[in-house]
Amino acid sequence: MNKYVKYIGGSLIAATILGVGYNKVFIPKHTFEVISPTKGNLAISITGMGNLDAINIYNITAQTGGKITSLLVDDGDYIKKGELLLTVDSSDLEIQLEIADTNVKKSLLEKDALNNELVNLQAKLELASKTFNRISKLASNDYSSKAELDNATSSLKSLQATVSGTYSRIKSATLSIKVAQENKNTIIEKIAKTKIYAPVDGKVIAKYAEKAQFINPNNIILKIVDPKTLVVSAKFDERISSNIRKGQLSTIKLRSDFNNAIEGKVERISSMSDKVTLEREIKISFSIIPKRFFINEQAQITISIDNLSNVVKIPNTVITNYNGDMGVWVNSRNKAHFKIIEKLAQNNSETAVSNISLNELIIIKDDKKKQLKEGMGIYK
């Protein structure tokens, strides 16, 4: 009898231990939190990655060859329009300018001398003309010899030829002045090109030369970006980019300042797609120019393409894949049931659905607990 009592007692103790283990261990693994869908507006957006670029990037080149005598800016410097950036050695040009200036002055003096000579010749021509007229009258009345008339005629014609030649020389001197002045102006222009100024307010983003370095004409020395034309260039699949429109609001997160979202808008949509990747380039401009930026820096952009109103929404985190279908787990009479969702639209955090009611109890998956299966008991 005592033996049976011991067996019964031991069985009761074992059953108690098993009961406690069942309640303490097994049931919590089947206990999941649930949430209900919400109703409201859903902002639809698409997110992609791109790189910081600018519509206006200026290549600062040397228009004349020579040694850089001064380079007044460095990579990363902000500059003002009209600010002197660099100078190229112009000593040879300065010598040429002195020679050209001397030639201009020489030509002017020669013309002045010819003008004075012309005045003197014109006075002589006037006197010779009067003498010829007087002797001609005398000769017609036989008061003057033929030799005197011939001399007066010869003197008059000689002076006329000399005056005509002087006019030609004055014209030639005028042309010489023009040529000398144009040569001087050309040298002045060349000297001006040895000084290079900033074309816009901007930022130096690249520097390819240093002071005392010899450069050839058209060598790129600096790159300057106009910050007002900063954009993020990103590529989207043709199926996605078809919903993008110029002017749509966007947010931009630069990799160097990812916690700060900057407002922007769609500035340009490429009219051509890449025939290999089937993507189209989108450019997003900034509403506020970032204080610090780096061209080619990676950036995340989010474009708002639509807004649905008064729709049923669920968090993206509760959507899962089960047997190849996308849906959510719901608590149906304390049993796990997988329900395939009919998705209307989705953004980064929520999805609008058409076949989920507001009183559904959606199970929140917990990787620390037992994997959900169809019909599995759910305990509160």
pLDDT digits (tens, 9 = 90+) for 120-162: 999 999 998 998 898 888 888 777 788 888 888 899 899 999 9
User: Each residue of 254-264: pLDDT tens digit?
Assistant: 999 999 999 99
Q: Does residue 72 fall inside a structural domain?
A: yes
pTM (global) more than 0.95: no
Looking at the structure, tell me whether residues 79 and 201 fall in a common domain: yes
Residues 102 and 156 in one domain: yes
The pLDDT value given to residue 308? 86
The pLDDT, as a whole number, for residue 29 is 46
- Same-domain check for residues 170 and 160: yes
> How many Å apart are CA 89 and CA 307, to the nearest integer?
62
pLDDT greater than 60 at residue 278: yes
Written as six digits, the tokens of 22 are 């069942």
Angle at CA 14, nearest 5°, toward 9 and 20? 125
Number of domains in the chain: 3
Give the three-state DSSP class for 330: strand
Residue 299 burial (C-beta neighbours within 10 Å; 0-12, 13-18, 19+) = buried
pLDDT score for 30: 67
Tokens representing 352 are: 């609008």
User: Is 254 within the bounds of a domain?
Assistant: no
Query: 154-212: per-residue pLDDT in tens?
Result: 998 999 999 999 999 999 999 999 999 999 999 999 999 999 999 999 999 999 999 99
Structure confidence by residue, pLDDT tens digits, 300-349: 999 988 888 999 999 999 999 999 999 999 999 899 999 999 998 888 78
Instruction: Please report how the helices 91-140 and 146-192 are oriented relative to each other, as an axis angle in degrees rounded to 10.
Output: 160
Are 10 and 138 within one domain?
Answer: no
Residue 302 inside a domain? The answer is no
- Under the banding of pLDDT at 50, 70 and 90, the label for residue 40 is very high
Q: Is residue 145, in this structure, part of any structural domain at all? A: yes
The 10s digit of each residue's pLDDT in 44-83 is: 888 899 999 999 999 999 888 899 999 999 999 999 999 9
82 shares its domain with 150: no
**Whether 123 and 208 share a structural domain:** no
DSSP string, 64-90: S-EEEEEE---TT-EE-TT-EEEEE--
Number of other residues whose CB lies within 10 A of the CB of residue 48: 19
Confirm whether 370 is domain-assigned: no
CA 130 to chain centre: 81
State whether 154 and 184 are in the same domain. yes
> Are 159 and 13 in the same domain?
no
104 and 185 in a common domain: yes
Q: Are residues 65 and 116 in the same domain?
A: no
61 and 177 inside one domain: no
Mean of per-residue pLDDT scores for the chain: 89
106: domain range? 91-192
In a domain, 235, yes or no: no
Same domain, 78 and 145: no
